[in-house]
Amino acid sequence: MKSKKNIKFGRVKFLVIFLAFFFNPNIAYSDNLTLEGNFLEIKVLDKVSSKNYKLNIKIGEQKIFKNISIKPLKCKNSEFDDNPEITAYLQVKDLKNKDKNEVFVFNGWTFSSSPALRPFDHPVYDIWLTKCF
């Protein structure tokens, strides 16, 4: 008879702990899984000269590289297993393009592991993410 009381008490205790853990606003899994950075490191490939350039850009600031303007608005590191995913929201303008109909060459999220998901399509330059710190 005593063991049944202990089992019931154990179940109630487990349920209370589970509910307290589940509904606790101080526990945020997103803080542990995604880390936002203040700087973004990207590589730019000049397709004409076949040279790679590494750029460090502060989030929110615009960096002019040759004929393009790159402005990262946000970057995140997601730490899953051994291969973290780096995502960034970029706005890229072609400074040679004087056509007012097209403001951005690229405006959106890009991913380090699959850059073809949202491709950056430019005849001279190619951009990919390497680091968010």
Predicted pLDDT at 29 = 45
Predicted pLDDT at 8 = 54
Predicted pLDDT at 11 = 60
CA atoms lying within 13 Å on the CB side of residue 92: 23
Residue 20 class from Cβ within 10 Å (0-12 exposed, 13-18 middle, 19+ buried)?
exposed
Predicted pLDDT at 120 = 82
Is 1 domain-assigned? Answer: no
Is 18 domain-assigned? Answer: no
CA distance 91 to 4: 64
Report if pTM > 0.75: no
Is 2 domain-assigned? Answer: no
Is 3 domain-assigned? Answer: no
Is 62 domain-assigned? Answer: yes
Q: How many domains does the chain have?
A: 1
Is 68 domain-assigned? Answer: yes
CA atoms lying within 13 Å on the CB side of residue 78: 10
- Residues in the chain, pLDDT under 70: 1-34, 80-83, 100
Is 7 domain-assigned? Answer: no
Is 76 domain-assigned? Answer: yes
Domain membership of residue 112 as a residue range: 30-132
